[in-house]
Amino acid sequence: MLSFLLVPFLACVILVFIHGYFGQHVVSRKVIFVDLALAQLAALGISFAHLMNIDEQSLWAYGISFLFTLIGAAIFSLTRSRSDRIPHEAIIGMTFVAATALATLVMSHLPQGAEHLEHILNGSILFLTPKGLKHAALIYAGVGAAAALLHKRFAKNSENFHQEPDWPQRFWDMAFYALFGVVVTSSVRIAGVLLVFTFLIVPSLFSLLFAQSFGRRFLIGSTMGITAAALGLGLSVRYDWPSSAAIIITMTAIFTVAGIQSALTCCVTK
């Protein structure tokens, strides 16, 4: 069992770290559903690849999927505004809904469309091969190096996100979302839309209960995410549960318990 779980567990560790970094920025910017929208755009690209009879694991399929996330990155960076006339989160939500509807339409023209759609939502992290893990690790390492070089720019944009942006800020927004798009494009093929969103948001929210600085939040969130992933994978094998659902439920349960404890502590302190 341990040897069977090693590759998916290592994949979870990598996903927690890379999504944990972007998750801290997303939570700071308060654009929580941007990951869900980008992930669904990546899934839409995979759907079109299926429609054109292109192998999902091929470089062509990856390129099509990334192109869709790049379009989303452009939309989200160009529509950012201080004005509340049209909330930024509403545009993100509309993009997610439109991408989901288009993916459903595309899949309806495929013989096994329902199975493909379920795979896109839930992924198949338990059956990731060592070769697939190696390819993903190389991509994430490159993105991590780029993010480290540009971290000061990204952090400044996150801190001033709700101010009226100028064109240089929009450019760095586009760079942030494009890098994020590379991550999401790879992650959706491994873990599915729902688990990718969970890895991004839940550990970041959990870390806010215990720390304020970026570094401490990243460390706390990563520890929580890895622990929940290990427990979830173990439960999925022990009880024959879908791996993505098991990890999501485990992570949500840990966050819920911590949130209740934090709320009770605050009430007692007051």
Pick the more confident residue, 106 or 13: 13
Distance CA 233, CA 251 (A): 11
- The domain segmentation of the chain, as residue ranges, is 2-192
Q: What is the pLDDT of residue 198?
A: 92
Residue 245 burial by CB count (10 A; 0-12/13-18/19+): exposed, middle or buried?
A: middle
- Tokens in use for 163? 């101010």
22 confidence band (pLDDT: 50, 70, 90): very high
Q: What is the pLDDT of residue 268?
A: 65
Calculate the average pLDDT of the chain.
85
Q: What is the pLDDT of residue 164?
A: 66
- Average of per-residue pLDDT across 168-182: 86
* Residue 218 pLDDT > 70: yes
- Average of per-residue pLDDT across 37-54: 85
Among 35-39, 81-85, 263-267, the minimum mean pLDDT is found in 81-85
Q: What is the pLDDT of residue 113?
A: 66
Task: Write the DSSP string, 44-108.
Answer: HHHHHHHHTT--TTSHHHHHHHHHHHHHHHHHHHHS--S-SSS-HHHHHHHHHHHHHHHHHHHHT
Q: What is the pLDDT of residue 132?
A: 87
Distance CA 262, CA 253 (A): 14
pLDDT, tens only, 121-163:
777 788 888 888 999 899 999 999 999 999 888 888 888 776 6
Question: CA separation (Å) from 259 to 26, 37, 216?
Answer: 20, 26, 18
Backbone CA torsion sign across 184, 179, 45, 131: negative
Pick the more confident residue, 83 or 17: 17
pLDDT, tens only, 59-92:
888 888 899 999 988 888 888 766 667 777 788 8
Contact between 40 and 101 (Cβ < 8 Å)? no
Contact between 231 and 248 (Cβ < 8 Å)? no
- Average of per-residue pLDDT across 87-116: 82
* Residue 3 pLDDT > 80: no
Q: What is the pLDDT of residue 165?
A: 67
pTM, full prediction? 0.85
Q: Quickly tell me which residue has 């992924």 as its tokens.
A: 123
Residues 71-92 as b or e (16 or more Cβ within 10 Å = b): bbbebbbeebeeeeeeebeebb
Distance CA 226, CA 224 (A): 6
- Tokens in use for 229? 């992933």
* Residue 241 pLDDT > 90: no
Return the CATH number of the domain spanning residue range 2-192.
Answer: 1.10.3470.10
Distance CA 221, CA 215 (A): 10
Contact between 140 and 183 (Cβ < 8 Å)? yes
Which has the closest alpha carbon to 150: 171, 181, 165?
171
Q: What is the pLDDT of residue 21?
A: 92
Distance CA 242, CA 235 (A): 9
